[in-house]
Every structure is written in structure tokens, then in C-alpha cells.
Amino acid sequence: MKKVLVAGAGGFIGGHLIKELTRKGNQVRAVDIKPLNEWYQVSDEADNLVLDLRLRDNCLRAVNGYNEIFNLAADMGGMGFIENNKAACMISVLINTHLLIASRECGIDRFFYASSACVYNGSKQTDTNNPGLKESDAYPALAEDGYGWEKLFSERMCRHFSEDFGLTTRVARFHNVYGPHGTYDGGREKAPAAICRKVIEAGITRKKEIEIWGDGHQTRSFMYIDDCIKGIQAIMYSDINEPINLGSSEMVSINKLVDIVEDIAGYKLKRTYDLKAPKGVRGRNSDNTLIRKYLGWEPSIPLTSGLKKTYSWINEQMIEERRRLIGTSRYNR
């Protein structure tokens, strides 16, 4: 049994990771800034704390008595959020910095940092036919403004705490994680959840229209949450010292993503395109050469399979929300 701290426990990935860590019998401390009733998943088996980890004293309180840290904490969301909240994204640097300092002072054995494909040089992401971003493509640096630069700086902090103080650090660059129990509305959602929500809404309202951000030709790869959780643990307990990609290499256009969700829903929609909306880089995909070399494994759950589960979960949430609203409306008459 390990004593493990998960920072960002109230988030999408954090909630799934804690479920898996507690299932394996680990003693888990779960920490997030959000009130407990706003966490995406709450595990009663964990020691659940509400703390602002941007503050050093709170990091020391959270870390003390534990042996390993998974740092997933950050103020982030989909492209619509990170393009309009660059300062808020940058302030997350305090979380990783103070957790590293606390790790050194408390003698932490291992430290995992969740980085992002947003660290990659933007000039290598201008073509929809992206061949796959290699780990070396982060330099010379031209990261996503705000969020990407914070992630790249925090990667360097992990490296130097390892070099200077002997702290074992592991860094994974996530590529678009999706699945059940995630954000699907409110402005922080990513493309798979947003498209699922829009397709479901079109069916409910019977307008049978969908608005797509950009021209729909921009490309991405999307990793299902189960692959992400498996990869996090494999990287954490590996001998991989440098930042490494953790993402699917199954690249699709946003138009293709809509096609898949329409097939799941069983109806087609009229498409309109908002060319002024945030849309990010033109093409992004994960080159998985290194992770296959080190682990003999890579994320492989097909997009269609993962989207079916994600669509089903979001549909259930939206149906339940409509029932609550209808019930409230009847009650207030």
C-alpha cells in the first residue's frame, strides 16, 4: 500500500485516477480547490480535502505524511477557456512550484506532473495533416500562449528539482483526454464532450442544426480516459526521466468527430461554422514512438468506442437535468 496525494482530485482525470488508486488498496489523500459538492467524482475511501494549492502552506499541509504525488491540478479547460483566460492559466505555476518545494521538504519519493500537448511549438502545428508531434518538438519553444507556457515552465521545474535535489519526477504530455464524468458544458469542455452535447441538444430541440468552431478541417487526436489512467500509472512507475507523450495517435478532423457522434445519435445535422470562435492550432497529433519504446504500449482504445460511452453518459446527465427542470417548473406553478 502506498500513501498517495492526488492534486486536482475534483477534476475529470483526478476523479478517475483516485477511483483506480483506491481500488488497488492505496491510501489516498484527494485535494482540490473546489467545494466538495462541485467535484466530478468523490471517493469516500479517500481523505478528501478542500485546499488552495497555489498557497505554499496548503501544499505543505497536503504533502506531509505522504510518499507520492500526482499533480493534475490546474485552472484549465478547452480552447474556448484557455484562449480567454491566459493569466489564470499562468497562475497555476504556483501549484506545481509549491508542491515541488513541499516534496523536497517532506521527502517525497515520486512526483508526477500532468503536462500538455499545448507545450509544442505552434509552427509545427499549422498543417491539418500533422505527422505526429515528437517530444523534441517542444523546442525551440513556441508554446500555446498562457496555458502552454505554464506547462512548459513547470516541466523545467520538475527537471531541475530532479537534477539539483534528487527528487524522482515523471512528466506526461496529455493529448485531449475525454470520457464520462467530465465537463460537457459551461465553457471549459473540450471538443468531444462539446460535440456530444450539441448533437444531443439538436435532437432534444429538433432543430437538427449544429455550430462548429472553425471550418471543421482542423485535426486532433483524442484519448479515452481509461487509456489515460493506465498511462499515468505506467509512466509514474517507469524509468522515463524526460517528458513523454500520453495520447492517441488516431487523428481525426473536427468534421469527422461530428460524423462519428451523429452516427451514434442516429441522425444527421445541418452544419454552420463560426470562423471567429477559438479553434487552436491547425493540426495536432501524438507521435507515440517513445512511449512504445519505453513501455511497449500506447493508448489504443478506438475513438468510436470511447465516444459511445461518453455520449451515453452525457445523454443521461442531460435527460436527468431536463427532468429536474420540468419538475421544478411544475412545482412552482
Best CA proximity match to 92, nearest among 52, 129, 58, 60: 52
Strands 47-50 and 27-32: parallel
DSSP assignment letter at 133:
B
CA 5 to chain centre: 18
User: What is the maximal distance between C-alpha atoms in the chain?
Assistant: 67
Catalytic sites, residue numbers:
147
Helix (H/G/I), strand (E/B), else coil: 271? strand
Residue 208 — left, alpha, or beta (φ > 0 → left; ψ -120 to 50 → alpha)?
Answer: left
The strand ranges marked E within the chain are 3-7, 27-32, 47-50, 68-71, 110-116, 168-174, 177-178, 209-213, 219-221, 223-224, 244-246, 251-253, 270-274
